[in-house]
């Protein structure tokens, strides 16, 4: 896949559709040539940002960070919430093209199906920056750069913890580690890549196997409902691998309702490290969290300015991230920013 090739190009580690204008409501500057020719005629940069939705604590922190970073950078932000629907995101991007914003940034809800609207942006001379999630397109000229996490790596880190803690994770002591997986939104880059990374690493231990895997759509409710169904359909679940904290938190509710103790009777691994997840980790209800940073705003604004100034930017900018054990979560929780 193209996005996988992109990761290899240059892993530069830098540290109902509603359209809302943040900052002044002045008309955006004129369209730019492809490649970026600077801000609008008033010298001010206007960015159209098409957000996925508000499905998780991560997403809320990401939206706030982008809005605050735009204000700090003096960039006028037009912000839309697609409510996790690709058609809403496409409408938002078309609306930004019509409004002649200087630059468009978006976090694609799913990987495929973007070429048409991105070609429209290119024809209008408006540069596009992918934020958080990649698109799966053959034509890499449709966007200037992709800023975000390495989701495959996140899945690998989650799998590695399980491999390293396999003895503890065999909760019922039957010699097999029975994992259930709560997947993110079907077709979304983090769901596809985290699954791939996790499966690759756990394949090194034949005792570890995924017995059931379903989407919880990255939401707490989704995680709870899918986990309830998993618990009803089989006994002996040792481990939950949730593609984000929110689904893991939903799973905790389902596990407790079934009279089991999360973190002990069922081990839980999640990704994100937002405050609610870190709190559950420090309380022993989650066993391990792989960080996925939502604080992409400052780098995004910096990249947008560079693109509009005609400067070269790396094709791929990978976010720096860590992992947390229960002890580490308790330590950092008081100062956690999100």
Question: Interacting stretch for ligand AHR, rule CB under 6 A, among 42-50, 53-61, 109-117, 163-171?
Answer: 53-61
Question: Smallest gap, in angstroms, from Cβ of residue 290 to ligand AHR?
Answer: 10
Q: Which of residues 199-218 bind ligand AHR (CB under 6 A)?
A: 218
Beta bridge partners of 50: 80, 106
What would the two tokens of residue 189 be? Answer: 């880059």
111 makes contact with ligand AHR (CB under 6 A): no
Per DSSP, the residues of 278-294 read: HHHHHTTSS-EEEE---
Q: How many CB atoms lie within 10 A of CB 221?
A: 14
Nearest residue to 129 via CA among 308, 319, 331: 308
Per DSSP, the residues of 118-170 read: HHHHHHTT--EEEESS----S-GGG-SEEEE--HHHHHHHHHHHHHHTHHHH-
133 makes contact with ligand AHR (CB under 6 A): yes
Question: Interacting stretch for ligand AHR, rule CB under 6 A, among 54-62, 68-76, 108-116, 277-285?
Answer: 54-62
Nearer to ligand AHR, 29 or 190 (CB): 190
What would the two tokens of residue 285 be? Answer: 């209800």
d(CA 90, CA 82): 9
Nearer to ligand AHR, 62 or 160 (CB): 62
308 makes contact with ligand AHR (CB under 6 A): no
Of the residues 244, 270, 282, 293, which one makes contact with ligand AHR according to CB under 6 A? 244
**Tally of residues, the chain:** 338
198 makes contact with ligand AHR (CB under 6 A): no
φ/ψ bin of 315: left (φ > 0), alpha (ψ from -120 to 50), beta (otherwise): alpha
150 makes contact with ligand AHR (CB under 6 A): no
Question: Smallest gap, in angstroms, from Cβ of residue 40 to ligand AHR?
Answer: 30
In order of 43, 63, 71, 97, 138, the CA distances from 67 in angstroms are: 20, 6, 6, 20, 31
d(CA 140, CA 155): 25
Question: Smallest gap, in angstroms, from Cβ of residue 259 to ligand AHR?
Answer: 28
272 makes contact with ligand AHR (CB under 6 A): yes
Question: Smallest gap, in angstroms, from Cβ of residue 92 to ligand AHR?
Answer: 17
Question: Smallest gap, in angstroms, from Cβ of residue 300 to ligand AHR?
Answer: 14
Using CB under 6 A, list all residues that contact ligand AHR: 55-56, 58-59, 132-133, 190, 218, 244, 246, 271-272, 292
């Amino acid at each position: 896949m193209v996005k996988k090739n992109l990761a290899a190009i240059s892993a530069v580690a830098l540290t109902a559709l509603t359209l809302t204008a943040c900052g002044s409501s002045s008309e955006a500057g004129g369209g730019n040539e492809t490649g970026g020719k600077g801000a609008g005629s008033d010298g001010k940069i206007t960015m159209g940002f098409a957000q996925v939705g508000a499905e998780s604590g991560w997403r809320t922190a990401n939206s706030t960070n982008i809005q605050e970073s735009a204000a700090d950078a003096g960039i006028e932000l037009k912000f839309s919430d697609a409510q996790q629907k690709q058609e809403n995101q496409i409408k938002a991007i078309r609306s930004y093209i019509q409004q002649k914003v200087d630059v468009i940034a978006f976090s694609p809800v799913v990987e495929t199906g973007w070429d048409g609207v991105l070609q429209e942006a290119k024809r209008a001379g408006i540069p596009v920056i992918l934020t958080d999630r990649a698109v799966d397109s053959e034509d890499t000229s449709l966007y200037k750069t992709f800023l975000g996490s390495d989701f495959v790596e996140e899945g690998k880190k989650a799998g590695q913890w399980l491999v390293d803690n396999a003895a503890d994770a065999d909760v019922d002591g039957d010699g097999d580690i029975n994992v259930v997986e709560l997947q993110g939104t079907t077709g979304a880059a983090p769901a596809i890549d985290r699954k791939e990374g996790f499966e690759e690493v756990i394949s090194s231990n034949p005792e570890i196997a995924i017995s059931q895997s379903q989407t919880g759509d990255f939401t707490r409710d989704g995680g709870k409902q899918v986990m309830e169904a998993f618990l009803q359909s089989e006994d002996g679940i040792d481990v939950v691998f949730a593609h984000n904290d929110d689904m893991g938190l939903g799973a905790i509710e389902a596990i407790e309702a079934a009279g089991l103790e999360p973190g002990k009777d069922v081990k839980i691994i999640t990704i994100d490290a937002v405050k609610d997840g870190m709190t559950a980790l420090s309380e022993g209800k989650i066993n391990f969290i792989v960080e996925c940073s939502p604080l992409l705003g400052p780098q995004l604004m910096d990249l947008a300015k560079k693109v509009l100034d005609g400067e070269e930017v790396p094709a791929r900018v990978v976010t720096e991230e860590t992992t947390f054990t229960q002890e580490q979560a308790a330590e950092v929780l008081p100062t956690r920013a999100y």
